[in-house]
A and B are shown apart, each in its own frame.
Chain A
Amino acid sequence: MAHDAALPHDDHAHADPKGFIHRWVMSTNHKDIGTMYLVFSLTMFFIGGLFAMGIRAELFKPGMQLMQPYFFNELTTMHALVMIFGAIMPGFVGLANWMIPMQIGAPDMALPRMNNLSFWILPFAFVLLLSTFFLPGGAPAAGWTMYPPLVLQGGDDVAFMVFSIHLMGISSIMGAINIIATILNMRAPGMDLLKMPLFCWSWLITAFLLLAVMPVLAGAVTMLLTDKFFGTSFFNAGGGGDPVLYQHVFWFFGHPEVYIMILPAFGLISEIIPTFARKPIFGYKAMVYAIACIAFLSFIVWSHHMFTVGLPIGSELFFMYATMLIAVPTGVKVFNWVTTMWRGSMTFETPMLWAIAFVILFTIGGFSGVMMALVPADFQYNQTYFIVAHFHYVLVTGAAFAIIAAVYYWLPKWSGHMYSEFWGKVHFWNSAIWVNVLFFPQHFLGLAGMPRRIPDYNVAFADFNMVSSIGGFLFGATQLVFVGVIIHCVFFSKVRAPAKVWEGAHGLEWTLSSPPPHHSFVTPPVIDNSVLAHGDVMH
């Protein structure tokens, strides 16, 4: 359609919108919205991190130190909700917003106004959730899984918790629809699906997971709400319902949710490793199929979270084998990352360091996951710190490390300036060391029988807990370096970044200037296969 300059209200596309409100609050720009998502994610990372510091401070020594047990439970619950829904998921959506249009040669997301709404719901949802700390009865304290009947014994927080989850669900669903429409409809001519960067692939599949399970979570918490306030009996055995029903519905959401938090990380790592190994990713198609395979399997393994509630033995076996099956495509991915590095001419800039740490440490989390998939073994691990160690290895050294790696990888592209490699490495090495001091001892604590979500413990667990807490404080403090590096890079760095920031990088985003123009691609770019990482689909 022709450009009709005679239309009223025609503001020129390429000029930056003027004024704070116009630029940020009314934005239809994928980069500005992506930036808001990322800043929001970092803010929530620190709020959730503050709760974690409180937890580790209480657990520093046996005995009650700082807080009432109920407040400790509020901290564990809110730490999880804030980190999952506030830090990790918005972090990935922010990266998707920034990078997907640039990687597929589009001017913006497919539905830019809905994109803005997806973001702006989130600050309100978290104001609602965090405000529960100031209500009579305090914040939710029954764990992030919100199991009835315990959660229904909460006070004024229950309704607000449920509504904030509804809001987050609305935001995620709209975000997912937008990503699907963008990838399927906005690719530049010649950008075939199997030429897309793996980050786009991982997000395309993740978006379908979100669409399939966020409404189910909304249904689960809606039933909690009606059970508490409207007299229904969904989770009341006396009325013919069943608390285990909640667990089924919740984990039908919950297991795909863990892949929602790790598949985009797989995509990010698959971008970074080839760049710094200076080799194309090994087994591109296998990587795509592996993600699709993991996504499919994620729908048929949910009961591995419920092995001890008394399921029939046949279903325990089914869910055990199905769960262990996921190790196969995941193994393919780890194998392909390692093989990509094999005999590559590697350099170890900050993003690569984070990516390599991801491969090693995520794999540790994957291994402990396979251990827990075994039904008889899980009876021992269930509700212990072993579980806590496992999911922090996949979520902190997995998902969070991948987001941080991606921020270092693309920050020069976004800001037009180079970050400080020295301080980036300070951030990396301190994080990599202290995160292991923090979480590795928790494996031993769990195997020795220390239960999770308890503010006090047997003196036998004292030493490892103190080590873990020290690691926690130092890991937390290290993240302040990250903020320093970002602020320095964006506002103070004098070193200009070239269009192609990394020597070995491939992909359309590197053909744009750093920082990129307001609308990424004003006309569809002519796809030159040699620019793409996967222009040649053969590999």
Chain B
Amino acid sequence: MSQSGTYYIPHGSRWPIVAAIGLFLFMVGFGNWLNGNDSLGQTVMGLGALTIIGMMVGWFGSVIHESMRGNFNGQVDVSFRMGMMWFIFSEVMFFGAFFGALFYTRMISIPTLGGEGAGALTNQFLWNGFAPAWPSNGPEHIGGAFSTMPPWGIPLLNTLLLLSSSVTITIAHHALRAGHRGRLLVFLGLTVLLGATFLRFQVHEYIEAYTHLNLTLHTGIYGSTFFMLTGFHGLHVTLGTIMLIVIWLRCVRGHFNRDNHFAFEAVAWYWHFVDVVWLCLFLFVYVL
């Protein structure tokens, strides 16, 4: 641990280069797989994934270790907070690209294909008779006839699940600050269960969409936006749930105290972010 004067500078670490190699392997493998070199691609991709997981265990492990020894001062804590905050902001922009695609197709590309504005001739000569509507899989009806997921069944349930998980994690946070260890563990554990249940329902919904509704990734622009948005959100819920499990284990081990629990708060922020994205999804993908 390098401690220079009043500042804290971490010592050198092997994890960044391991992370870079892991990412590289993962992407080389994935690319080969997509290009048809299935077995080679999957092997390299798997190796990359294992390297990334090992890196995360090692890197976070060493940071936790350093934190437990009290190496981090208030300034480091603020840097961590800023890091997490602006990381979440970049995630918001990432989702923004896909929401932008959804709004653009609903408000501009589908009406234009239907002959609105500058699209009159396109409609008349290329796709005469295509009437703009949403949901749509386009004038060529790519993927064939399909139906959409009714919002007031599983999606509504999932909304309630995520909303209550936001409440439970807040209760857990208050319990942590008040020093109620039992309540902290119960409510954080509840949050994990709610997240896992959400994922279980999401999987069920995907199976339902593929087997009964003929709603797939190939279902024109509706299927594309539906699965891209809910899929990336689901991926984030998965990551968030794993993070919650790690935090729960750390609470069991007594890693946090009422003043010093940045990791807990970072995961809580992330979880609220995932929750807000879901609310937008529920509104714009399912209801409207």
B189 close to chain A: CB less than 8 A: no
Instruction: State in angstroms the CA–CA spacing of A225 and B1 once bound together.
Output: 43
Query: A120-B17, A240-B109 are contacts. A166–B12 as well, Cβ < 8 Å?
Result: no
Interface segment, one of B95-103, B163-171, B251-259: B95-103
- Report the interface size class on chain A: 35 or more
Q: Contact between A245 and B94 (Cβ–Cβ < 8 Å)?
A: no
Distance in angstroms from B93 CB to nearest chain A CB is: 4
Q: Contact between A519 and B12 (Cβ–Cβ < 8 Å)?
A: no
Query: A113-B15, A237-B109, A240-B220 are contacts. A7–B97 as well, Cβ < 8 Å?
Result: no
Which B residues are in CB contact (< 8 Å) with A450? none
Q: Contact between A239 and B5 (Cβ–Cβ < 8 Å)?
A: no
Q: Contact between B140 and A239 (Cβ–Cβ < 8 Å)?
A: yes
Contact with A along B220-236 (1 / 0, CB 8 A): 11111101100000000
Q: Among A13, A219, A226, which residue has its beta carbon within 8 angstroms of that of B94? A: A219
Distance in angstroms from A214 CB to nearest chain B CB is: 7
Q: Contact between B138 and A241 (Cβ–Cβ < 8 Å)?
A: yes
Q: How many A-B residue pairs have CB under 8 A?
A: 260
Interface centre among B8, B93, B223, by most A CB within 10 Å?
B93
Q: Contact between B90 and A214 (Cβ–Cβ < 8 Å)?
A: yes
B19 close to chain A: CB less than 8 A: yes
Q: Among B10, B73, B98, which residue has its beta carbon within 8 angstroms of that of A113? A: B10
Which A residues are in CB contact (< 8 Å) with B27? 128, 160, 163-164, 166-167
Which A residues are in CB contact (< 8 Å) with B30? 159, 163
Q: Contact between B220 and A239 (Cβ–Cβ < 8 Å)?
A: yes
Distance in angstroms from A186 CB to nearest chain B CB is: 7
Which A residues are in CB contact (< 8 Å) with B224? 226, 232-234, 239, 241
Closest to A107 in B: B7
Considering only residues 1-56 of chain A, those with a C-beta below 8 Å from chain B are 1, 3-4, 7, 9-14, 17, 22, 25-28
Q: Contact between A223 and B23 (Cβ–Cβ < 8 Å)?
A: no
B40 close to chain A: CB less than 8 A: no
Which A residues are in CB contact (< 8 Å) with B227? 232
Q: Contact between B83 and A181 (Cβ–Cβ < 8 Å)?
A: yes
| B interface majority secondary structure | helix
B125 close to chain A: CB less than 8 A: no
Instruction: State in angstroms the CA–CA spacing of A123 and B21 once bound together.
Output: 10
Q: Contact between B93 and A215 (Cβ–Cβ < 8 Å)?
A: yes
Interface size on B, residues (CB 8 A): 77
Instruction: State in angstroms the CA–CA spacing of A242 and B227 once bound together.
Output: 18
Q: Contact between A173 and B87 (Cβ–Cβ < 8 Å)?
A: yes
Instruction: State in angstroms the CA–CA spacing of A524 and B110 once bound together.
Output: 59
Q: Contact between B83 and A216 (Cβ–Cβ < 8 Å)?
A: no
Instruction: State in angstroms the CA–CA spacing of A187 and B228 once bound together.
Output: 41
Instruction: State in angstroms the CA–CA spacing of A356 and B88 once bound together.
Output: 40
Distance in angstroms from A227 CB to nearest chain B CB is: 8
B211 close to chain A: CB less than 8 A: no
Query: A117-B16, A124-B23, A232-B228 are contacts. A248–B3 as well, Cβ < 8 Å?
Result: no
Query: A1-B3, A177-B87, A242-B108 are contacts. A163–B31 as well, Cβ < 8 Å?
Result: yes
Q: Contact between B90 and A28 (Cβ–Cβ < 8 Å)?
A: no
Q: Contact between A121 and B20 (Cβ–Cβ < 8 Å)?
A: yes
Query: A185-B75, A233-B224 are contacts. A519–B142 as well, Cβ < 8 Å?
Result: no
B250 close to chain A: CB less than 8 A: no
Closest to A170 in B: B23
Which B residues are in CB contact (< 8 Å) with A112? 9-10
Closest to B126 in A: A237
Instruction: State in angstroms the CA–CA spacing of A124 and B23 once bound together.
Output: 9
Considering only residues 1-46 of chain B, those with a C-beta below 8 Å from chain A are 1-17, 19-21, 23-24, 27-28, 30-31, 34-35
Some 19 contacts from A to B, beta carbons below 8 A apart, are A26-B13, A26-B17, A27-B12, A108-B9, A111-B83, A114-B16, A116-B16, A177-B87, A181-B78, A185-B78, A211-B86, A215-B96, A223-B98, A231-B218, A234-B221, A236-B142, A238-B140, A312-B118, A519-B7
Chain A residues packing against B (C-beta within 8 Å): 1, 3-4, 7, 9-14, 17, 22, 25-28, 106-108, 110-114, 116-117, 120-121, 123-125, 127-128, 156, 159-160, 163-164, 166-167, 170, 173, 176-178, 180-181, 184-186, 211-216, 218-220, 222-223, 225-226, 229-234, 236-242, 244-245, 248-249, 252, 310, 312, 519, 521-524
